[in-house]
Amino acid sequence: MSDFSNDTMRRTAHWATWLAEDWRGEYPLRLHSGGLAVDGSPEWHPDFQKWMTRRDGRGKRNETQRLRTTRVMRSLRKTAPREYEVCYRILILGERISQTTVWLNQRAAKNDIPFPDHRPSGPHYTQKDTWALFVAGIDYARTFW
């Protein structure tokens, strides 16, 4: 993290925490509870049911704020998909930078992505690269929120 200023990291941490709180409300991580409903169909997980009905006890201001966060993250996905993927993995799935770096490298190898000219061999992504993608993604969201 020493490659980025303290102000940059402080601002990134603040906005990442703030955005994650709203954005997580848009992503139920489980669809089914594992049981069966009265009619024999798979029973919805309570988080998924809240997500479908939007009856989650949040106030109107928070609902508007959450919608705004969702829109900016969708815009990030269209504009900068790699930054979006890094933000999603860290903010929604709770991965560490090191885990996301491993995932990025596995994805690059699986998709046979050529190495950049300045790095003819070795890993496609370093932790510094992952931090840069994360900082850029959060800064985009902050700017357009």
Mean pLDDT over 16-40 rounds to 74
Domain spans of the chain? 6-27+58-144
Sign of the CA dihedral running 22, 24, 28, 33? negative
Higher pLDDT, 84 or 65: 84
On the question of pLDDT at 39 being above 60, the answer is yes
Contact criterion met (CB below 8 Å) for 91 and 16: yes
Mean pLDDT of the chain: 84
- Lowest-pLDDT range of 32-41, 51-60, 85-94: 51-60
As given in the structure block, the two tokens for residue 44 are 């919805």
Can you give the pTM of this predicted structure? 0.74
Containing 42, the helix (H) or strand (E) segment is: strand 42-44
